[in-house]
A = this chain, B = another copy of it.
Amino acid sequence: MLLNEDMTRALARDGLTVPRTHLLWMLHQQGASTQRALADALKVTPRNITGLVDGLTEAGYLTREPHPTDRRATLATLTPAGASLMDGIARGREVLAARLFGDLPADELRSFLDRIDLVTARLRAALHEAGRP
């Protein structure tokens, strides 16, 4: 919650929002993608991707390129501005992680992360059960 609020404020300075940045982040991770693939990745309808891509195109962070073999599809592609923005965010994450966890001995970090993994797995199991009662 703490992080989310700060991120929202910081992104606003670049004319971005959380969903738009999430989309850029996917492109940064997976490379140029069809809007269909982005809809699946962001768990959102294709109609929604149209709007996000429109906004990001206007802001200069990506472009729509024709798909090389499927003329129905377009490839959302980061511009240099979009790519360098994502590089900056990736670097910021590393710096923050180092600051938050960097001084922990490796074995303590391990056991901390293991505990988190365990709790996460239990949460997943609980939600799964609740899903089919």
Contact = CB atoms under 8 A, between A and B. Distances in A.
Interface residues of A, number: 20
Contact of A124 (B2, B10, B122, B123): B2
Query: A-side binding surface: helix, strand, loop or mixed?
Result: helix
Nearest to A92: B130
Nearest to A10: B130
Contacts of A58: none
Given A2-B120, A120-B2, A99 B115 contact: no
6 contacts: A2-B123, A5-B43, A6-B127, A6-B130, A96-B126, A99-B126
B122 A100 contact: yes
Interface in A57-113: 96, 99-101, 112
A120 to B, nearest CB: 7
A2 B115 contact: no
